[in-house]
Amino acid sequence: MYLEWIDTLKSALLFRGIGSESLNIMLDCLKPTVRRTKQREIIVAYGQPFQGIGIIASGKVALSKETYSGNRIIMGILEAGDVFGEVVAFSDRRIWPMTVIAQEDCVLLFLPPDKITGACSNICSSHSTLIINMLRILSNRAAMLDKKIEHISSKNIRGRISSYLQDIYLQSGNKELTLTMKRHELADYLNIPRPSLSREMGSMRDDGIIEFEGPHVTIKNALKLEKSIQ
């Protein structure tokens, strides 16, 4: 039943270190619910009852929250192989803490958390690997949220953009960057108006800090970029 997504799922952090045959046996044991969604469809909404850990078999989703004023803040963009809902899965409050929206047509697998922490009926040899991987995912998610707080803590728009770009640059070691977020998604993620984002990026280009075309950004002056964060 899950064979068409095995290659993607095998590369997912949740199933890392588990071979195709073992993974197929494990999925038959865990029996995740499969759901197909269309682009822009709300997969789950804030406050809804929690239905299980989501695994993206194909497509891309946005994790978002709305402020009291009605503005949407993107917490992150996830792609095939990524997982969402793992934080609330092991908390006492079993409701979705954010809204998940399909950015593309998606295939999603929803996995009840008790199937991960509970005893496996087939005594899967890879079950302990699954649990260790889940702990890694929880740690990575906490680090991702820390990074977002770091990016938006700057008091000005240039500082937020610079913090985000520098983070990608430091991770890749390459001044030629390809942004995974579209312009409006990045504006939501950094919690700034879309026109202000475009205007400030244009100003940074005029100041010789960056060059950009579409999703491609080149850091021309890394020192100026770093100083812009302060």
Is 122's pLDDT higher than 60?
no
Non-local (6+) Cβ contacts of 35 within 8 A are: 43, 107, 108, 109, 110
Flag whether pLDDT at 123 surpasses 60: no
Residues 59 and 121 in one domain: yes
- Do residues 169 and 82 share a domain? no
% of the chain at pLDDT higher than 90: 42
The structure tokens listed for 181 are 């977020």
| Domain termination site, one of 125, 150, 175 | 150
Q: What is the CATH number of the domain that holds 202?
A: 1.10.10.10
Residue 85 and residue 194 in one domain: no
Domain end among 88, 118, 150: 150
11 and 85 in a single domain? The answer is yes
38 shares its domain with 144: yes
Distance (Å, whole) CA 70 – CA 88? 23
Least confident of 18-32, 98-112, 156-170: 18-32
Do 125 and 210 reside in the same domain of the chain? no
Do residue 193 and residue 217 come from a single domain?
yes
Q: Confirm if 129 and 10 have CB atoms less than 8 A apart.
A: no
Mean pLDDT score across all residues of the chain: 87
CB of 47 within 8 A of CB of 163?
no
Specify whether 63 is located in the same domain as 105.
yes
Confidence of residue 132 (pLDDT cuts 50, 70, 90): confident
* pLDDT exceeds cutoff 80 at 24: yes
Our count of domains for the chain comes to 2
In this structure, the answer to whether residues 81 and 190 fall within a common structural domain is no
Query: What's the number of CA atoms in the CB half-sphere (13 Å) around residue 192?
Result: 23
Least confident of 76-80, 106-110, 117-121: 117-121
Looking at 130, 150, 170, the residue that finishes a domain is: 150
Are residues 140 and 85 both part of a single domain?
yes
Coil/strand/helix, residue 62: strand
Same domain, 68 and 55: yes
CATH number of 8's domain: 2.60.120.10
Are 127 and 163 within one domain?
no
Q: Which domain holds residue 208?
A: 155-229
Question: CA 150 → CA 21, 55, 139, 159, distances in Å?
Answer: 41, 27, 17, 10
